[in-house]
Chain A
Amino acid sequence: MWQYFLKRVFWSIVTIFVIIIVNFVLIKLVPGDPVHAMIGDFPAPQDYIDQLRRDFGLDQPLHVQLWLYLGNLAQGNFGFSFANRQPVLDLILGRTVNTLILILPAIVFSAIIGIALSLAAASRGGGFDITVSAITLFGYSIPVFWLGQVLVLIFAIVLGVLPTSGMYSLRAPQSGFGAFLDLLRHMVLPLACIMAFKIAVFSRTARASILGVLNSDFVMTARAKGLSRGYTLWRHVLPNAVIPVIAVFGYQFGHALTSSLLVETVFAWPGVGQLFVTAVGQRDFPVLQGILLLSTILVVVANVLADLLYTIVDPRIRRSLGARHA
């Protein structure tokens, strides 16, 4: 089994390396000039434009830029942001914390609520099942951008009970527990937007899986032996049905950047998603490369961890891997 994981880790590193090169080339192929985004709306002197190109290494041929980039990466240097005039790694890590504050609870709560809903729906069936399916489908289909604006309109503008955007109240800054409560208030609407989609993803995956398990012979046997419905669901159905949900869990972490792009833009949340959108507009290549690299690492690591979790949760996989590498 360990052989299998070493192999997975090796191919993961190869994957990350290939993606680094592909990302680098793709970003450089995008039309647009970062220098023009930097200097504003008045014709700047050519000397100054040339100096900026030299400062940021943009005057070098593509292969030289790639070589320099890889060399810097090998030393843990992600580059220097043109627009923010800051080391890329500091910039991204600072923003990643803000994104995780939003994304982690969103994924965890969505998974819990999604599985609970699907368990209740699948076991009860009938009208409850249809209602849950309809609501989750609505959450899955609704554009985050639109939902965000409508929520702000209702809860911030009309009712005035929640803030429109940002992470903290700038008007009356709080400290200690007050700051924590203030953060929670700012999190409500962006969380609702992300969770509307993620609950649907977890619930629909879990529902399909639970229905499949419910129709299994061992479940019928358990019920025939006289085990209660609740006990059967909790002890026999859930552990078997949760395996595909783990895969979704891993995938959703990898999906964190995509989730944060729109929500952070609508709610002016100073996370990595907003940084990415801004960097695209400014053609801030080092920042784009850095975010894509970290996102790639996140996806690859999440998938490896999901595989590892599979083997822990599902003894069949563990045994089959053990047999193959015996």
Chain B
Amino acid sequence: MFKKSRIISVLRWTILGGLWVAPAAAQAEAAPQRGGTAIIGLAAEPKGFNSALTSSTPDTVAGCMVYEGLLTIDTGNGKDEISPLLAESWDVSDDGLTYTFHLRNANWHDGQPFTSEDVRYTLEEVAAKFSPMFSAQVGTNLVKVETPDKRTAIIQLKQPYPTLLRTLNCTYSTPILPAHIFKNTDVATNPATTSQPIGTGPFKFESWQRGSHINLVRNDDYWEDGKPYLDGLIIRAIPNAASRIQALMAGEIDFIPMVHFPLNDARMVESTPDLQIVRSGFAPGMTYAAFNLKRAPFNDARVRNALLMATNRQFIHDTAFSGLGDLGRAPWPSGIEWAANREVNYDVSNPYDPERAAALLDEAGLLAGADGTRFSLNIIYDSAIAERNQVANALKANWGAVGVNVTLQPLEIAVVMPRVFKEHDFDIYLNDNNSYGDPAIGVGRVFVTESIGRISGNAAQYSNPEVDALFAAGAKEIDPDKRAEIYQSIQPILVRDMPVMMLHELSGFDGAAKRLHGLWGWIGNGRWAHAWLEQ
């Protein structure tokens, strides 16, 4: 009864901090097996299945098993390629204003055929109005979606938007919805949003035990021959992070996706014989600290630069993130390689150097008092994310060493969002930011004036017309080389002005059972049709 491997795992748990275990081996390339039901563990239950209405992860995970986008992003084996899904192929006009999609022959789960009208309805009447991402990125730029026949949909734009293809996937808030179910109804309360989704995806909705789990079953009529391999999927909510990891270790669940996988437990999971860490390959993100530029002394660039130099990013990387990902070195992730300016590097401009940091604070007139304190600040952040707590504590220790008295304010996300983005009542805001693989989608919102006052927008209230103009130009430039040049020219400005400092770079890691194979791309981007369980 006593399992040696489990005892070892528990011992490792208790002495976690000092352990380093070699990265998981690559997934076996064995022949896929059919059958079995995989169980996914999430931190929260979905609110519904319609990712056009929210970018909340549980809704996206559950929804994008049932619904599908026109396209997906294949990030397997280090790739980052736009891949076909409901659109078999596409053409882009030379002026970048017309996108023609040739649609797949597929059926909705209720047997109705999927047609171009579904695409038109979804993009024009739902995504352009409600989708957090599509409406912000494309919204008013969308002229219309033409449907010359049932298998062709043509998107007409006012201005070129070279990132359009990247936004047309389910995970990025653009699932294709069944027009025959949604048309002339309230999208938010339609049962196909809230409780009984009818999609084209590899899995069909079967039942929902509220508070516990959702049952999805194999779609035998799926358009991709022989897929999915799994008979079904169960999506379970386990709110407590430690309990979630314990369920994975006990074999009760097979997979915890990034965001819901507590990275500070990553090494323990990796050291458990039956488990592995899978690199999500999701678009690189960053953990950053935004300064409230409207408050002294953070309105002084010397103070911001000093605080970056007082921050031991290597320590944060090694502890809070278990050594996974990379140190933050630039205003946005270096993982978006084409847009990265290699000359921008915090290790050169702002290396960890408490003495230089202290000197810079002296220069800014913030001299240490009799008790060694120069000034006080608060750091506000979402308390639900374990690694963010650790980052905040590291900053408190690092900045305390140079005489900055730090108060931590871990709060619920529902409190943090309005306080930071609407009321601007904070000194430092610690957050994660998803780039969505392109500066035009996920990065610009952190820096442009237009995003001030918008949730998940520009927390620092940074406003620089030059930066605004460059981000706007980059978003519509269709020549890839020129686009790269534009974005690369923004980075030195952001390092000079330092409205936010990037602490850590991460592209997402999932915790998974080793018997689960065939995953590629991110949750919901299609890979679950290819997932299979070793029986």
Interface residues of A (CB under 8 A from B): 31-34, 36-45, 47-48, 51-52, 55, 83-86, 91, 94-95, 98, 149, 152-153, 156-161, 163-167, 169-171, 265-268, 270-271, 274-275, 277-278, 280-283
In the complex, which residues of chain B have a beta carbon less than 8 angstroms from the beta carbon of A34? 414
Shortest beta-carbon distance from A30 to chain B in Å = 8
Shortest beta-carbon distance from A183 to chain B in Å = 12
In the complex, which residues of chain B have a beta carbon less than 8 angstroms from the beta carbon of A164? 243, 246-247, 250, 252
Instruction: From the candidates A40, A42, A157, name the one contacting B136 in the complex (CB within 8 A).
Output: A42
Decide if A281 touches B412 in the complex (CB within 8 Å): yes
In the complex, which residues of chain A have a beta carbon less than 8 angstroms from the beta carbon of B249? 157
A283's nearest neighbour on chain B, judged by CB, is B414
Decide if B47 touches A274 in the complex (CB within 8 Å): no
How far does the alpha carbon of A126 sit from the alpha carbon of B322 in the complex, in Å?
A: 53
In the complex, which residues of chain A have a beta carbon less than 8 angstroms from the beta carbon of B236? 166, 170, 268
Shortest beta-carbon distance from A28 to chain B in Å = 13
Decide if B210 touches A84 in the complex (CB within 8 Å): yes
In the complex, which residues of chain A have a beta carbon less than 8 angstroms from the beta carbon of B56? 38-41
Stretch binding the partner chain, chosen from B157-165, B451-459, B494-502: B451-459
CB of B209 within 8 Å of the partner chain: yes
Instruction: From the candidates A42, A85, A281, name the one contacting B133 in the complex (CB within 8 A).
Output: A42
Decide if B456 touches A41 in the complex (CB within 8 Å): yes
Decide if A43 touches B211 in the complex (CB within 8 Å): no
Residues 119-158 of B, flagged 1 when their CB comes within 8 A of A and 0 if not, give: 0000000000110110110010000000000000000000
Residues 1-25 of B, flagged 1 when their CB comes within 8 A of A and 0 if not, give: 1110011011001000000000000
B56's nearest neighbour on chain A, judged by CB, is A40
Decide if B238 touches A165 in the complex (CB within 8 Å): yes
CB of B445 within 8 Å of the partner chain: yes
How far does the alpha carbon of A55 sit from the alpha carbon of B189 in the complex, in Å?
A: 10
Known: A33-B414, A277-B239. A42 touches B456 (CB 8 A): yes
Instruction: From the candidates B45, B234, B240, B418, name the one contacting A266 in the complex (CB within 8 A).
Output: B240
Decide if B239 touches A45 in the complex (CB within 8 Å): no
Decide if B418 touches A166 in the complex (CB within 8 Å): no
Decide if B211 touches A85 in the complex (CB within 8 Å): no
Decide if A265 touches B240 in the complex (CB within 8 Å): yes
Decide if B246 touches A153 in the complex (CB within 8 Å): yes
Decide if A47 touches B48 in the complex (CB within 8 Å): no
Instruction: From the candidates A33, A91, A153, A160, name the one contacting B3 in the complex (CB within 8 A).
Output: A160
Decide if B132 touches A39 in the complex (CB within 8 Å): yes
Decide if A157 touches B9 in the complex (CB within 8 Å): yes
Residues 242-254 of B, flagged 1 when their CB comes within 8 A of A and 0 if not, give: 1100110110100
B419's nearest neighbour on chain A, judged by CB, is A31
In the complex, which residues of chain B have a beta carbon less than 8 angstroms from the beta carbon of A84? 45, 47, 210
In the complex, which residues of chain B have a beta carbon less than 8 angstroms from the beta carbon of A170? 39, 213, 234, 236, 252
How far does the alpha carbon of A283 sit from the alpha carbon of B209 in the complex, in Å?
A: 22
Decide if A281 touches B413 in the complex (CB within 8 Å): yes
How far does the alpha carbon of A174 sit from the alpha carbon of B125 in the complex, in Å?
A: 44
Decide if B136 touches A43 in the complex (CB within 8 Å): yes
How far does the alpha carbon of A94 sit from the alpha carbon of B45 in the complex, in Å?
A: 16
Decide if A149 touches B242 in the complex (CB within 8 Å): yes
CB of B269 within 8 Å of the partner chain: no
How far does the alpha carbon of A149 sit from the alpha carbon of B59 in the complex, in Å?
A: 28
Instruction: From the candidates A52, A160, A266, name the one contacting B6 in the complex (CB within 8 A).
Output: A160
Instruction: From the candidates B130, B239, B419, name the one contacting A274 in the complex (CB within 8 A).
Output: B239
CB of B529 within 8 Å of the partner chain: no
Residues 46-71 of B, flagged 1 when their CB comes within 8 A of A and 0 if not, give: 01100001111101000000000000
In the complex, which residues of chain A have a beta carbon less than 8 angstroms from the beta carbon of B210? 84, 86, 91, 94-95, 270
Decide if B250 touches A160 in the complex (CB within 8 Å): yes
How far does the alpha carbon of A98 sit from the alpha carbon of B239 in the complex, in Å?
A: 17
The CB with the most chain A CB atoms within 10 A, among B47, B59, B384, is that of B47
Instruction: From the candidates A36, A94, A161, A268, name the one contacting B455 in the complex (CB within 8 A).
Output: A36
How far does the alpha carbon of A156 sit from the alpha carbon of B3 in the complex, in Å?
A: 11
Decide if B3 touches A282 in the complex (CB within 8 Å): no
Shortest beta-carbon distance from B252 to chain A in Å = 6
20 more A-B residue pairs beyond the given contacts A160-B3, A270-B210, A270-B212, with a C-beta to C-beta distance below 8 A: A32-B414, A33-B414, A38-B47, A39-B56, A40-B56, A43-B454, A44-B136, A84-B45, A85-B47, A86-B194, A152-B243, A157-B250, A165-B243, A166-B238, A166-B252, A170-B252, A268-B237, A270-B211, A278-B44, A280-B412
In the complex, which residues of chain B have a beta carbon less than 8 angstroms from the beta carbon of A85? 47-48, 188-189, 193-195
B413's nearest neighbour on chain A, judged by CB, is A37
CB of B516 within 8 Å of the partner chain: no
How far does the alpha carbon of A230 sit from the alpha carbon of B486 in the complex, in Å?
A: 91
How far does the alpha carbon of A282 sit from the alpha carbon of B239 in the complex, in Å?
A: 13
Decide if B250 touches A163 in the complex (CB within 8 Å): yes
Decide if A274 touches B211 in the complex (CB within 8 Å): yes
How far does the alpha carbon of A159 sit from the alpha carbon of B5 in the complex, in Å?
A: 11
Task: In the A-B complex, list the 4 residue pairs whose CB atoms are closest, starting with the nearest.
Answer: A270-B211, A40-B55, A32-B414, A42-B132
